[in-house]
Chains A and B, each alone.
Chain A
Amino acid sequence: MSHSNRLNRFEQLILPHLDAAYNLARWLTGHDQDAQDVVQEASLRAFRAFDGFYGENGRAWLLTIVRNTAYNLLQKNKSLRQTTPFDEELHGNAGASECATPLSLLRGAEDEQNLRAAVEALPDEFREALVLRHQDGLSYREIALIAGVPTGTVMSRLARARARLKDFLAKGNREEEAS
Protein backbone atom coordinates (compact mmCIF):
# COMPACT_ATOMS: atom_id res chain seq x y z
CA MET A 1 0.00 0.00 0.00
CA SER A 2 1.51 3.34 -0.94
CA HIS A 3 1.77 5.96 1.78
CA SER A 4 -0.72 8.41 0.34
CA ASN A 5 -3.16 5.50 -0.18
CA ARG A 6 -2.69 4.50 3.41
CA LEU A 7 -3.42 8.04 4.59
CA ASN A 8 -6.46 8.22 2.31
CA ARG A 9 -7.81 4.95 3.62
CA PHE A 10 -7.21 6.06 7.21
CA GLU A 11 -9.02 9.32 6.56
CA GLN A 12 -11.96 7.46 5.03
CA LEU A 13 -12.31 4.65 7.56
CA ILE A 14 -11.11 6.10 10.85
CA LEU A 15 -11.32 9.89 10.87
CA PRO A 16 -15.14 10.00 10.46
CA HIS A 17 -15.20 8.72 14.05
CA LEU A 18 -13.19 11.63 15.41
CA ASP A 19 -16.34 13.18 16.96
CA ALA A 20 -17.09 10.00 18.89
CA ALA A 21 -13.42 9.86 19.87
CA TYR A 22 -13.34 13.40 21.24
CA ASN A 23 -16.68 12.98 23.01
CA LEU A 24 -15.51 9.80 24.78
CA ALA A 25 -12.15 11.35 25.70
CA ARG A 26 -13.91 14.47 27.00
CA TRP A 27 -16.26 12.44 29.20
CA LEU A 28 -13.44 10.25 30.49
CA THR A 29 -10.86 12.94 31.24
CA GLY A 30 -13.32 15.66 32.27
CA HIS A 31 -11.17 18.35 30.60
CA ASP A 32 -11.11 19.79 27.11
CA GLN A 33 -7.31 20.10 26.85
CA ASP A 34 -6.72 16.59 28.21
CA ALA A 35 -9.30 15.23 25.77
CA GLN A 36 -7.61 16.99 22.84
CA ASP A 37 -4.22 15.57 23.86
CA VAL A 38 -5.72 12.10 24.18
CA VAL A 39 -7.43 12.21 20.78
CA GLN A 40 -4.35 13.55 19.00
CA GLU A 41 -2.09 10.92 20.54
CA ALA A 42 -4.63 8.17 19.91
CA SER A 43 -5.04 9.21 16.26
CA LEU A 44 -1.30 8.99 15.67
CA ARG A 45 -1.10 5.66 17.45
CA ALA A 46 -4.00 4.41 15.35
CA PHE A 47 -2.31 5.56 12.15
CA ARG A 48 0.93 3.79 13.07
CA ALA A 49 -1.00 0.61 13.87
CA PHE A 50 -3.28 0.95 10.83
CA ASP A 51 -1.68 -1.97 8.97
CA GLY A 52 -3.05 -4.25 11.69
CA PHE A 53 -6.61 -3.01 11.10
CA TYR A 54 -8.64 -5.23 8.80
CA GLY A 55 -11.61 -2.95 8.33
CA GLU A 56 -14.24 -4.65 10.49
CA ASN A 57 -15.27 -1.78 12.75
CA GLY A 58 -13.33 1.46 12.46
CA ARG A 59 -15.29 3.20 15.19
CA ALA A 60 -14.80 0.50 17.83
CA TRP A 61 -11.14 0.19 16.83
CA LEU A 62 -10.44 3.91 17.21
CA LEU A 63 -12.47 4.17 20.42
CA THR A 64 -10.50 1.28 21.96
CA ILE A 65 -7.26 3.19 21.35
CA VAL A 66 -8.80 6.44 22.62
CA ARG A 67 -10.03 4.72 25.76
CA ASN A 68 -6.63 3.15 26.50
CA THR A 69 -4.86 6.45 25.88
CA ALA A 70 -7.32 8.26 28.15
CA TYR A 71 -6.85 5.74 30.97
CA ASN A 72 -3.06 6.06 30.63
CA LEU A 73 -3.39 9.82 31.03
CA LEU A 74 -5.75 9.44 33.99
CA GLN A 75 -3.24 7.12 35.64
CA LYS A 76 -0.51 9.71 35.14
CA ASN A 77 -2.68 12.58 36.40
CA LYS A 78 -4.09 10.67 39.32
CA SER A 79 -2.72 13.20 41.78
CA LEU A 80 -4.32 16.06 39.86
CA ARG A 81 -7.73 14.50 39.57
CA GLN A 82 -9.13 12.57 42.50
CA THR A 83 -10.67 9.40 41.14
CA THR A 84 -12.12 6.77 43.37
CA PRO A 85 -10.92 3.28 42.54
CA PHE A 86 -13.65 1.21 40.93
CA ASP A 87 -15.15 -1.53 43.01
CA GLU A 88 -18.07 -3.52 41.58
CA GLU A 89 -19.40 -4.27 45.09
CA LEU A 90 -18.84 -0.81 46.55
CA HIS A 91 -20.28 0.92 43.53
CA GLY A 92 -23.07 -1.58 43.07
CA ASN A 93 -26.71 -0.62 43.12
CA ALA A 94 -27.19 -1.33 46.82
CA GLY A 95 -30.14 0.68 48.07
CA ALA A 96 -31.59 1.34 44.63
CA SER A 97 -34.32 3.86 44.96
CA GLU A 98 -37.85 2.62 45.48
CA CYS A 99 -39.29 6.11 45.92
CA ALA A 100 -38.52 7.66 42.52
CA THR A 101 -41.91 8.28 40.96
CA PRO A 102 -41.97 8.64 37.17
CA LEU A 103 -43.01 12.26 37.55
CA SER A 104 -40.13 13.30 39.82
CA LEU A 105 -37.68 11.34 37.73
CA LEU A 106 -38.79 12.97 34.52
CA ARG A 107 -38.67 16.41 35.99
CA GLY A 108 -35.12 15.80 37.15
CA ALA A 109 -34.08 14.08 33.95
CA GLU A 110 -35.37 16.89 31.84
CA ASP A 111 -32.90 19.14 33.50
CA GLU A 112 -29.97 18.48 31.23
CA GLN A 113 -27.38 20.08 33.49
CA ASN A 114 -28.51 17.92 36.38
CA LEU A 115 -28.23 14.79 34.32
CA ARG A 116 -24.84 15.73 32.91
CA ALA A 117 -23.52 16.37 36.41
CA ALA A 118 -24.97 13.05 37.58
CA VAL A 119 -23.22 11.17 34.76
CA GLU A 120 -19.95 12.98 35.50
CA ALA A 121 -20.15 11.86 39.11
CA LEU A 122 -20.29 8.18 38.10
CA PRO A 123 -17.21 5.90 38.17
CA ASP A 124 -15.29 5.87 34.87
CA GLU A 125 -16.46 2.37 33.87
CA PHE A 126 -20.14 3.29 34.33
CA ARG A 127 -19.74 6.63 32.59
CA GLU A 128 -18.03 5.20 29.51
CA ALA A 129 -20.68 2.50 29.12
CA LEU A 130 -23.48 5.09 29.28
CA VAL A 131 -21.78 7.46 26.83
CA LEU A 132 -21.04 4.69 24.33
CA ARG A 133 -24.56 3.29 24.61
CA HIS A 134 -26.64 6.47 24.62
CA GLN A 135 -24.55 8.99 22.72
CA ASP A 136 -22.97 6.69 20.16
CA GLY A 137 -25.67 4.00 20.08
CA LEU A 138 -23.14 1.17 20.35
CA SER A 139 -24.21 -2.41 21.02
CA TYR A 140 -23.18 -4.36 24.14
CA ARG A 141 -20.78 -6.33 21.96
CA GLU A 142 -19.04 -3.19 20.70
CA ILE A 143 -18.83 -1.67 24.18
CA ALA A 144 -17.43 -4.96 25.49
CA LEU A 145 -14.81 -4.90 22.74
CA ILE A 146 -13.78 -1.35 23.59
CA ALA A 147 -13.72 -1.81 27.37
CA GLY A 148 -12.13 -5.27 27.13
CA VAL A 149 -14.79 -7.00 29.26
CA PRO A 150 -17.46 -9.66 28.64
CA THR A 151 -20.85 -8.47 27.33
CA GLY A 152 -22.46 -9.59 30.60
CA THR A 153 -20.30 -7.06 32.43
CA VAL A 154 -21.45 -4.33 30.05
CA MET A 155 -25.05 -5.21 30.79
CA SER A 156 -24.55 -5.11 34.56
CA ARG A 157 -22.54 -1.87 34.40
CA LEU A 158 -25.29 -0.17 32.40
CA ALA A 159 -27.98 -1.45 34.76
CA ARG A 160 -26.06 -0.26 37.81
CA ALA A 161 -25.20 3.07 36.21
CA ARG A 162 -28.87 3.73 35.45
CA ALA A 163 -29.95 2.64 38.90
CA ARG A 164 -27.48 5.10 40.42
CA LEU A 165 -28.65 7.88 38.13
CA LYS A 166 -32.28 7.25 39.08
CA ASP A 167 -31.22 7.35 42.71
CA PHE A 168 -29.23 10.52 42.27
CA LEU A 169 -31.97 12.34 40.39
CA ALA A 170 -34.68 11.22 42.81
CA LYS A 171 -32.58 12.47 45.73
CA GLY A 172 -32.06 15.80 43.99
CA ASN A 173 -35.79 16.16 43.53
CA ARG A 174 -36.54 15.30 47.12
CA GLU A 175 -34.07 17.95 48.31
CA GLU A 176 -35.66 20.45 45.97
CA GLU A 177 -39.11 19.70 47.34
CA ALA A 178 -37.88 19.94 50.94
CA SER A 179 -36.34 23.37 50.50
Chain B
Amino acid sequence: MRNCDETRQWLDAYLDNELDPVNTLEIEQHLQTCPACSQAYEELRALGAALSTVPRYPTPAALRERIHSALLGEASAEAQTIPFAPAARPSWRWVTALAARRIRFLLGFFIFIFRILGWEFGRSAIGISTLLFYRQL
Protein backbone atom coordinates (compact mmCIF):
# COMPACT_ATOMS: atom_id res chain seq x y z
CA MET B 1 0.00 0.00 0.00
CA ARG B 2 1.32 3.44 -0.89
CA ASN B 3 1.53 6.33 1.51
CA CYS B 4 0.37 9.88 0.69
CA ASP B 5 3.79 11.27 -0.26
CA GLU B 6 4.42 8.48 -2.75
CA THR B 7 0.96 8.85 -4.18
CA ARG B 8 1.27 12.64 -4.65
CA GLN B 9 4.60 12.14 -6.38
CA TRP B 10 3.01 10.02 -9.09
CA LEU B 11 -0.35 11.77 -9.30
CA ASP B 12 0.49 13.72 -12.47
CA ALA B 13 1.75 10.62 -14.27
CA TYR B 14 -1.41 8.81 -13.12
CA LEU B 15 -3.56 11.63 -14.54
CA ASP B 16 -1.67 11.44 -17.84
CA ASN B 17 -2.07 7.63 -18.10
CA GLU B 18 1.69 7.23 -18.07
CA LEU B 19 1.94 4.65 -15.28
CA ASP B 20 2.26 0.91 -15.74
CA PRO B 21 -0.73 -1.26 -14.63
CA VAL B 22 0.82 -2.20 -11.26
CA ASN B 23 1.47 1.40 -10.19
CA THR B 24 -1.87 2.52 -11.60
CA LEU B 25 -3.66 -0.05 -9.46
CA GLU B 26 -1.74 0.97 -6.34
CA ILE B 27 -2.58 4.65 -6.85
CA GLU B 28 -6.24 3.78 -7.45
CA GLN B 29 -6.36 1.76 -4.25
CA HIS B 30 -4.81 4.59 -2.25
CA LEU B 31 -7.18 7.20 -3.73
CA GLN B 32 -10.16 5.08 -2.71
CA THR B 33 -9.12 5.07 0.91
CA CYS B 34 -7.57 8.56 1.30
CA PRO B 35 -9.91 11.58 1.07
CA ALA B 36 -7.03 14.13 1.08
CA CYS B 37 -5.22 12.52 -1.86
CA SER B 38 -8.52 11.92 -3.58
CA GLN B 39 -9.29 15.64 -3.31
CA ALA B 40 -5.82 16.56 -4.60
CA TYR B 41 -6.39 14.29 -7.57
CA GLU B 42 -9.80 15.81 -8.21
CA GLU B 43 -8.21 19.29 -8.34
CA LEU B 44 -5.53 18.07 -10.69
CA ARG B 45 -8.09 16.40 -12.92
CA ALA B 46 -10.21 19.59 -13.02
CA LEU B 47 -7.15 21.65 -13.93
CA GLY B 48 -6.19 19.18 -16.66
CA ALA B 49 -9.73 19.23 -18.06
CA ALA B 50 -9.75 23.05 -18.04
CA LEU B 51 -6.36 23.15 -19.79
CA SER B 52 -7.62 20.81 -22.49
CA THR B 53 -10.53 23.15 -23.24
CA VAL B 54 -8.34 26.22 -23.81
CA PRO B 55 -8.75 26.72 -27.58
CA ARG B 56 -5.70 26.31 -29.80
CA TYR B 57 -4.48 29.26 -31.78
CA PRO B 58 -5.97 28.81 -35.27
CA THR B 59 -3.49 28.65 -38.16
CA PRO B 60 -3.89 31.73 -40.42
CA ALA B 61 -5.04 30.68 -43.91
CA ALA B 62 -2.47 33.01 -45.49
CA LEU B 63 0.34 31.13 -43.75
CA ARG B 64 -0.87 27.81 -45.15
CA GLU B 65 -0.87 29.28 -48.67
CA ARG B 66 2.55 30.88 -48.26
CA ILE B 67 4.04 27.59 -47.10
CA HIS B 68 2.41 25.71 -49.97
CA SER B 69 3.86 28.04 -52.61
CA ALA B 70 7.26 28.16 -50.87
CA LEU B 71 7.38 24.36 -50.99
CA LEU B 72 6.42 24.32 -54.68
CA GLY B 73 9.24 26.80 -55.37
CA GLU B 74 11.69 24.72 -53.36
CA ALA B 75 10.66 21.49 -55.12
CA SER B 76 10.99 22.98 -58.62
CA ALA B 77 14.37 24.55 -57.73
CA GLU B 78 15.55 21.09 -56.70
CA ALA B 79 14.15 19.54 -59.87
CA GLN B 80 16.18 22.00 -61.95
CA THR B 81 19.42 21.13 -60.23
CA ILE B 82 19.08 17.38 -60.86
CA PRO B 83 20.70 17.20 -64.37
CA PHE B 84 23.93 18.47 -62.84
CA ALA B 85 23.88 16.02 -59.99
CA PRO B 86 26.34 13.11 -60.40
CA ALA B 87 24.64 9.94 -61.62
CA ALA B 88 24.74 7.19 -59.03
CA ARG B 89 25.21 4.46 -61.71
CA PRO B 90 26.49 4.81 -65.28
CA SER B 91 23.68 4.74 -67.82
CA TRP B 92 23.42 1.66 -70.09
CA ARG B 93 24.15 3.71 -73.21
CA TRP B 94 27.41 4.80 -71.72
CA VAL B 95 28.31 1.24 -70.72
CA THR B 96 27.61 -0.16 -74.24
CA ALA B 97 29.62 2.63 -75.87
CA LEU B 98 32.59 1.80 -73.68
CA ALA B 99 32.17 -1.95 -74.31
CA ALA B 100 32.08 -1.40 -78.09
CA ARG B 101 35.33 0.55 -77.94
CA ARG B 102 36.99 -2.19 -75.91
CA ILE B 103 35.75 -4.95 -78.25
CA ARG B 104 37.16 -3.11 -81.27
CA PHE B 105 40.47 -2.68 -79.46
CA LEU B 106 40.60 -6.35 -78.42
CA LEU B 107 39.78 -7.61 -81.95
CA GLY B 108 42.70 -5.63 -83.31
CA PHE B 109 44.87 -6.97 -80.50
CA PHE B 110 43.92 -10.64 -81.19
CA ILE B 111 44.57 -10.35 -84.92
CA PHE B 112 47.98 -8.99 -84.00
CA ILE B 113 48.66 -11.89 -81.58
CA PHE B 114 47.50 -14.56 -84.10
CA ARG B 115 49.66 -13.14 -86.85
CA ILE B 116 52.81 -12.86 -84.75
CA LEU B 117 52.56 -15.76 -82.24
CA GLY B 118 50.29 -18.33 -83.86
CA TRP B 119 47.11 -20.23 -82.93
CA GLU B 120 47.96 -21.82 -79.53
CA PHE B 121 49.12 -18.61 -77.89
CA GLY B 122 46.25 -16.64 -79.41
CA ARG B 123 43.60 -18.96 -77.96
CA SER B 124 44.82 -18.55 -74.37
CA ALA B 125 45.15 -14.78 -74.93
CA ILE B 126 41.45 -14.68 -75.89
CA GLY B 127 40.51 -16.59 -72.72
CA ILE B 128 42.48 -14.27 -70.41
CA SER B 129 41.28 -11.10 -72.15
CA THR B 130 37.61 -12.16 -71.99
CA LEU B 131 37.97 -12.80 -68.28
CA LEU B 132 39.59 -9.39 -67.71
CA PHE B 133 36.98 -7.72 -69.88
CA TYR B 134 34.04 -9.04 -67.87
CA ARG B 135 35.70 -8.27 -64.56
CA GLN B 136 36.26 -4.66 -65.60
CA LEU B 137 32.73 -4.25 -66.83
Contacts and interface: CB of A to CB of B under 8 A. Distances in A.
Interface of A: 3-4, 6-7, 10-11, 15, 18-19, 22-23, 26-27, 32, 35-36, 39-40, 43-44, 47-48, 100, 102, 105-106, 109-110, 112, 115-116, 119, 130, 133-135, 139-140, 155, 158-159, 162, 165-166, 169
Contacts of B11: 159
A130 B42 CA distance: 18
B12 A109 contact: no
A22 B63 contact: yes
B60 interface: yes
A102 B59 contact: no
B1 to A, nearest CB: 22
A106 B46 CA distance: 7
27 contacts: A10-B71, A11-B71, A15-B67, A18-B59, A18-B64, A18-B67, A22-B60, A23-B56, A23-B57, A36-B63, A39-B63, A40-B66, A47-B71, A47-B74, A48-B74, A102-B39, A105-B46, A106-B46, A112-B55, A119-B51, A135-B54, A135-B56, A155-B18, A158-B12, A158-B16, A159-B11, A162-B47
A35 B75 contact: no
A109 B47 contact: yes
Given A36-B60, A162-B12, A109 B70 contact: no
Contacts of B78: 3
Q: Is the interface of A mostly helix, strand, loop or mixed?
A: helix
A169 B50 CA distance: 12
Contacts, number: 109
Contacts of A23: 56-57, 59
B8 to A, nearest CB: 9
B50 A109 contact: yes
Contact of A134 (B51, B66, B71, B76): B51
B44 interface: yes
Contact of A116 (B43, B52, B54, B70): B54
In this complex, which of B43, B79, B82 has the most chain A Cβ atoms within 10 angstroms of its Cβ? Answer: B43
Nearest to A105: B43
Contacts of B42: 102
B25 interface: no
A15 B65 CA distance: 12
B75 A6 contact: yes
A165 B48 CA distance: 10
B14 to A, nearest CB: 11
Given A105-B47, A130-B51, A155-B13, A35 B57 contact: yes
Interface in B54-92: 54-60, 63-64, 66-67, 70-72, 74-76, 78-79, 82
Given A7-B71, A39-B63, A26 B57 contact: yes
Given A112-B50, A112-B54, A155-B18, 8 more contacts: A4-B75, A18-B59, A18-B67, A26-B57, A36-B63, A115-B50, A159-B12, A162-B12
